[in-house]
Chains A and B, each alone.
Chain A
Amino acid sequence: MSILDIIILLPLLGALAIAFGAPARSTAMASTGANLLLGLVAWGLYDPSKEGFQLTASRPLVNVPEISYAVGIDGLSLVMLLLSVIVSFCAMWMAPKVESRQKLYFISLLFIAAGALGAFCSTDIFFFYAFHELALIPTFFMIGIWGSGENRVATAWKITIYLAVGSIILLAGLIAFQSQLSNGSLTFDLVTLQERSAEEAIPARAQGWIFLTLLIGFGILVSLFPFHAWAAPAYAAAPAPTSMLHAGVLKKFGLYGLLRFTPMLPEGLETWRNLLIVLLLGNILFVGLVTLAQKHLDTMLGNSSVMHMGYVFLGIASWNAASGEPIGFTGAVLLMFGHGISIALLLGLCGKLRERLGTVEFDHLGGIGKQVPVFSFLFGLAAFAAAGLPGFANFSGEVMVFFGGFQGYGGEGFNSLQIATILALWGVVISAVYMLRAYRSIFLGRRPDDLNASPDIVFTQRIPCAILAGALLVIGFYPRLFSDLLSF
């Protein structure tokens, strides 16, 4: 039994306890809080000097094809694990008062947390997939039942359809992938698959269409342009802890998957690189402009999250198996962490704002910073982080992504990747514009007379915010803590 088993099981046990009558909120917080500590322990147990997966445990379930419940972490999954435990704990803590069906509310949240953790820790791609599905289902419910806005049921359906389609395409891609590497014995074991693809690469043509299938499948889950339309309305409608968990953690599943599989499909990426570049520029530039035009904080944050996925895709697109260092991949991982934490903090605060003022429409807000200085400080911190300011994890990720894009630039004309990098750099200006506009129109300047007075964040609620902000700052000041863990 590995510590990872406990980490995956704890939220599920918490959910079970709640179902049998344990107090919902405190059980949820206790199990995810314990998980946060266990996550740090796992970080301590992890030895970055060793290759491959560590803290492994495995239980065979089916022999043909070989499916087993198997867990283990390498640097990449460790970072994702830490992201998950941090955001899960803070999401539980920041959950607002639940009016109805409180038990189900927290059970659903715990399922999302467990599913995400399971997906990141699994070294068997069947469970990798299944855990993600486990996390998706409660997401749909939470929007439908506890969501806000008149269209919440329609929104719940929209995200369901999008993500179900994405999952099916993904599943097809995964199965095709493993059948290409069958070598006489079908297996879902990631390590075996990695070894087999290292011995004998999948034929280029097959790599091409498998990669495309995976790209679309994972891409829909990560709101890759033009499959992004579900994201902003869903985050706006979902209860704050759900959107924190989904935008912060669960959405990273698709990126995590691409980071896992792309090194095994280098020629597939080569074939479709220009397509990926066009799509990710759609995320950065097109959705960036869409974000600028938003009049509500919640949809603005949702769109900004879609936009920032473009930078992670850029890091993935710069993967070059033949030569060079994994600069873009390292940047992608740092950015996934930074974005996950910062968007969780922003969405959590957005939820609190709606609670207090009844609206998150920019035109009705303004100048509340003087009343709520701590709130204003925390929001400003997260907004600066999301806009890519140094000192926060996001910046280190973005910079590495940009260097990754220019790796191998010879001093002559630009190739498509470098042109994309330059355009993506312009996107940094766009995100500064909307983040500063939002901050200014909510907290700074004169306060409209008809705006209600509202209290600042209470002390106990400052703690989860401080944890999130602290994580951003620690990795932002010293990103090597994570980059040293990574090897691709």
Chain B
Amino acid sequence: MPWLLLILPLAAAIIIALVTRKHGNVSAYISVASVVATFVVSVILQLGGETDPHSFTWVSAGAFELNIGLQLDALSTGMMLIVTCVGALVHVFSLGYMEKDESKGRYFACLSLFMFSMTGIVLADNFAMMFIFWELVGVSSYLLIGHWYTKDEPVEAAKKAFLTNRIGDFGFMIGILMLWGMTGTIFFDPMETAAEGASISHGKMFGIAVLCLFCGAVGKSAQMPLHVWLPDAMEGPTPVSALIHAATMVAAGVYMLARVAFLLSFTEAAQVIAWVGALTALFAAVVATQQNDIKKILAYSTLSQLGYMVMAAGLLASDAAMFHLYTHAAFKALLFLGAGAVIYACHHEQDIWKMGGLSKKMPLTFITFAIGTAALAAVPLTSGFFSKEQILAAAFEGNKTLFFIAVIVAFLTPFYMMRLFTAVFFGRARTGSAEHAKEVPFVMSLPLLILAGLSIVAGFGLVAKMVLGEHYPHAHPPGAVLAASLITMLAGAALGFLLYRGKTQERMPIAFIRQKFYLDELYIGLVRVFQDAVAYLAKLIDTHVVDSIASRGSATTVQGLGSLFRRIQVGNLQAYAFLFGVGVILIVYLLVFA
């Protein structure tokens, strides 16, 4: 039964790719059917509590084996529920959003491939399997970002995303290999038993191994310094941004950290992880305040929230991280799909200053987007409020400096969201496309409504406990945390609203922030110098040094042979064969008999 979670989406992807790809609608329904079915299976699994599916050997060498096996515990089945639920809603939304796309079959095949890959990460019971699907997720992300492949920007963004992730995976694999050496296993459960002993006997190297592992999360969850791919990935279709680049795939890094939380507790290296998360959260929130593209703002917001989660994981509060991952999946998917609805209605306009006044034209989108914004800004009683509380509480207990950073982020978040919200929905329509915007069809607003409902109720203890099980964090945050959270939320939202109400463009453009601290430019420069220039140098050495020395060397050695060859015209097969035969026999004779 749990294997269906892997088989269904893979089968859907294969059937679409081989049979139905030219029939867009059929392909779409196959894909939607498979994802809905996996959601049902996930629910049954969560209720039924099946725990021991068999695993099988994928490849072996003597007694060494790499396995494909499923780990069914509260963490994985809860995550599965989140992934399939958001996945199903995004699939349905795509029916409307991608309706007129000429490559609909390919789009849905890739979505199913993604669901297959993501499921593999979530259910893996060992690192080898997780790595396999980790890479596959990278592939499906590449294919989906580059869906509109005749334009240059999506294609470049896809390549950038894939390669940046590969850099992270470089560290990930080293970490896996090191931990395999230290604990003697790649399975999560036995590794948990062996972790403490390994941390004692290997000390510093153990910490390095954990940090290498963390590199994988840095790539996939777009933490600094490998964050650069995620904002660019917004070139892909908006439902893809919602599913992959907000709710699920980018959360895989956080999920992995939660999976190996037992490793983090034994090493100082966890501090590094917490700091990386906090700095990413701050950096991204600052950059988000200056972006004009609605999807870019949401992308930086995603970075920032992922930073929160990674920080919590580093502070050994992985339950808080998972709680926030879960609520974030709901409200960020909602915000992205809402943005998708807005973009769809405004004929693919994405600049928030070219919108305006949409609240009356798209009331349903307006209300649901407002709920999403409230959840992200952590308005009390929305889901985001409860989970952010837990993260702030973890920081408050763990490290006061990190708590201070987290509070600043908590202020910036409602600020940039209010800026976006005011510019898009209030005031007057500033362009013709905003003027003529209409509410989206039902197939698109239905997922918005469901996600809006989830964004509110997901944080309530009863619901959260059903999804997260034993990983639902019970701690009651101290009063100081509550106060800080409320004050920053109100201050940020008020400031955002007052500053940008009725404005038609950015009031105080700051180029340094708008250009993302010029980090992209820095990276491009580094690649030019260290990769392309060095590669060119290597090519020169190869043609002018290695080749000529080796050719000349061997030419002199076989001068006799060479001059013999040169007498014969190229094209004379018999003479060649004869000569080789004679040569072989001669040498055998000399060496053996002489």
Most buried by B among A141, A289, A327, A411: A411
A409-B181, A486-B61 are known contacts. Are A446 and B550 too (CB-CB below 8 A)? no
Q: Find out whether the CB atom of A390 lies under 8 angstroms from the CB atom of B136.
A: yes
Q: Find out whether the CB atom of B554 lies under 8 angstroms from the CB atom of A162.
A: yes
| Interface presence of B58 (CB below 8 A) | yes
A273 to B544, CA, bound (A): 28
Tell me which of B63, B178, B561 contacts A409 (CB under 8 A).
B178
A292-B531, A421-B177, A444-B149 are known contacts. Are A161 and B62 too (CB-CB below 8 A)? no
Expressed in whole angstroms, the minimum distance between the Cβ of B116 and any Cβ of chain A is 10
A326 to B136, CA, bound (A): 27
Contacts of B571 in A (CB 8 A): 141, 144-145
CB-contacts of B543-572 with A (<8 A): 546-547, 549-551, 554-555, 557-558, 561-562, 565, 570-571
Contacts of A400 in B (CB 8 A): 59, 61, 66
Contacts of B202 in A (CB 8 A): 411-412
Contacts of A487 in B (CB 8 A): 62
Q: A155-174 toward B: CB 8 Å interface, digit per residue (1/0)?
A: 01110111011001001100
Q: Find out whether the CB atom of B591 lies under 8 angstroms from the CB atom of A175.
A: yes
Q: Find out whether the CB atom of B61 lies under 8 angstroms from the CB atom of A432.
A: no
CB-contacts of B140-168 with A (<8 A): 146, 149-152, 155-156, 159, 162-163, 166-167
Expressed in whole angstroms, the minimum distance between the Cβ of A228 and any Cβ of chain B is 8
Expressed in whole angstroms, the minimum distance between the Cβ of B295 and any Cβ of chain A is 21
Q: Find out whether the CB atom of B59 lies under 8 angstroms from the CB atom of A396.
A: yes
Q: Find out whether the CB atom of B149 lies under 8 angstroms from the CB atom of A406.
A: no
Tell me which of B155, B174, B550 contacts A422 (CB under 8 A).
B174
A322 to B108, CA, bound (A): 52
CB-contacts of B23-61 with A (<8 A): 57-61
Tell me which of A156, A229, A292, A412 contacts B547 (CB under 8 A).
A229
Q: Find out whether the CB atom of B573 lies under 8 angstroms from the CB atom of A141.
A: yes
Q: A324-342 toward B: CB 8 Å interface, digit per residue (1/0)?
A: 0111011100100000000
Contacts of A436 in B (CB 8 A): 159, 162-163
Contacts of A379 in B (CB 8 A): none
Q: Find out whether the CB atom of B61 lies under 8 angstroms from the CB atom of A326.
A: yes
A326-B62, A389-B139, A479-B58 are known contacts. Are A161 and B562 too (CB-CB below 8 A)? yes
Contacts of B587 in A (CB 8 A): 168, 171-172, 175
A265 to B162, CA, bound (A): 42
Expressed in whole angstroms, the minimum distance between the Cβ of B232 and any Cβ of chain A is 14
Q: B536-548 toward A: CB 8 Å interface, digit per residue (1/0)?
A: 1011001000110
Contacts of B201 in A (CB 8 A): 411
| Interface presence of B132 (CB below 8 A) | yes
Choose the segment among A36-44, A87-95, A206-214, A423-431 that binds chain B (4+ C-beta atoms closer than 8 Å). Answer: A423-431
| Interface presence of B576 (CB below 8 A) | yes
Contacts of A84 in B (CB 8 A): none
Most buried by A among B59, B535, B546, B576: B59
CB-contacts of A281-295 with B (<8 A): 286-287, 289-290, 292-294
A327-B64, A444-B146 are known contacts. Are A156 and B570 too (CB-CB below 8 A)? yes
| Interface presence of A27 (CB below 8 A) | no
Tell me which of B156, B159, B592 contacts A186 (CB under 8 A).
B592
Contacts of A447 in B (CB 8 A): 150
Tell me which of A65, A140, A227, A446 contacts B152 (CB under 8 A).
A446
CB-contacts of A146-195 with B (<8 A): 153, 156-158, 160-162, 164-165, 168, 171-172, 175-176, 179, 186
| Interface presence of A440 (CB below 8 A) | yes
Contacts of A410 in B (CB 8 A): 181
| Interface presence of B524 (CB below 8 A) | no
Tell me which of B178, B547, B550, B570 contacts A406 (CB under 8 A).
B178
Expressed in whole angstroms, the minimum distance between the Cβ of A51 and any Cβ of chain B is 14
Most buried by A among B131, B150, B539, B558: B539
| Interface presence of B198 (CB below 8 A) | yes
Expressed in whole angstroms, the minimum distance between the Cβ of A82 and any Cβ of chain B is 17
A406-B181, A440-B155, A446-B151 are known contacts. Are A286 and B542 too (CB-CB below 8 A)? yes
| Interface presence of B532 (CB below 8 A) | yes
CB-contacts of B296-330 with A (<8 A): none
Q: Find out whether the CB atom of A229 lies under 8 angstroms from the CB atom of B150.
A: no
Q: Find out whether the CB atom of B542 lies under 8 angstroms from the CB atom of A161.
A: no
A409-B181, A410-B181 are known contacts. Are A444 and B136 too (CB-CB below 8 A)? no
Tell me which of B173, B562, B592 contacts A179 (CB under 8 A).
B592
Contacts of A129 in B (CB 8 A): 584
Contacts of B198 in A (CB 8 A): 411
Contacts of A411 in B (CB 8 A): 178, 181-182, 198, 201-202, 205-206
Tell me which of B60, B61, B152, B592 contacts A445 (CB under 8 A).
B152
Q: Find out whether the CB atom of A290 lies under 8 angstroms from the CB atom of B152.
A: no
Q: Find out whether the CB atom of A153 lies under 8 angstroms from the CB atom of B61.
A: no
| Interface presence of A363 (CB below 8 A) | no
Residue of A nearest to B183 (CB): A411
| Interface presence of A83 (CB below 8 A) | no
Residue of B nearest to A396 (CB): B59
Q: Find out whether the CB atom of B59 lies under 8 angstroms from the CB atom of A480.
A: yes
Q: Find out whether the CB atom of B584 lies under 8 angstroms from the CB atom of A171.
A: yes
| Interface presence of A348 (CB below 8 A) | no
A446 to B128, CA, bound (A): 38
| Interface presence of B266 (CB below 8 A) | no
| Interface presence of B475 (CB below 8 A) | no
Q: Find out whether the CB atom of B135 lies under 8 angstroms from the CB atom of A480.
A: no
What are 30 A-to-B residue pairs whose CB atoms are below 8 Å? A65-B592, A129-B584, A133-B580, A156-B570, A161-B555, A171-B588, A175-B588, A290-B538, A290-B542, A292-B532, A331-B61, A369-B149, A390-B132, A390-B133, A399-B66, A408-B181, A409-B177, A409-B182, A421-B177, A429-B163, A429-B167, A429-B170, A432-B162, A437-B159, A440-B155, A445-B152, A446-B150, A479-B59, A483-B59, A483-B60
Q: A226-B550, A403-B66, A480-B57 are in contact. List 15 more A-B contacts (CB 8 A).
A: A130-B584, A133-B580, A161-B554, A168-B587, A175-B591, A326-B62, A329-B61, A399-B131, A403-B177, A409-B177, A429-B170, A432-B166, A433-B163, A444-B150, A486-B61
What 7 pairs across the A-B complex have the smallest Cβ distances? Answer: A409-B181, A325-B62, A229-B547, A330-B61, A292-B535, A293-B539, A289-B538
